[in-house]
Amino acid sequence: MKEIINELRLQGLTLKQKAIVWYFAISLCLLGSIAEAPYWFLVVLVVNFANAARLVRKVPLPESDNDERI
């Protein structure tokens, strides 16, 4: 549980980068949770998600401890 909390803190990122990561996560959840919506609303959600994906590409990835390949 402590590992999950540590990951959610997004240590090593600035406040702006943390906001971008959360914006991406919320956009992804919204995109997956809309089942029966008008087409114009689906288009707005897809454009919103595309914008979030564009922004999250600018956030640096943390170094992974699990880089050992089998």
Structural domain includes residue 5 = no
In terms of residue numbers, what domain contains 27?
Answer: 13-56
Q: What is the pLDDT of residue 25?
A: 93
Q: What is the pLDDT of residue 68?
A: 56
Structural domain includes residue 62 = no
According to DSSP H, which parts of the chain are helical?
2-8, 15-33, 39-56
Structural domain includes residue 45 = yes
Q: What is the pLDDT of residue 67?
A: 56
Provide the number of structural domains found in the chain.
1
What parts of the chain have a pLDDT lower than 50?
Answer: 70
Q: What is the pLDDT of residue 58?
A: 92
Structural domain includes residue 63 = no
Q: What is the pLDDT of residue 50?
A: 96
Of 4, 48, 6, give the one whose Cα is nearest residue 26: 48
Give the distance from CA 47 to its chain's centroid: 15
Structural domain includes residue 31 = yes
Against a cut of 0.75, is the pTM above it? yes
Structural domain includes residue 35 = yes
The dihedral region occupied by 55, where left means phi > 0, alpha psi between -120 and 50, and beta the remainder, is alpha
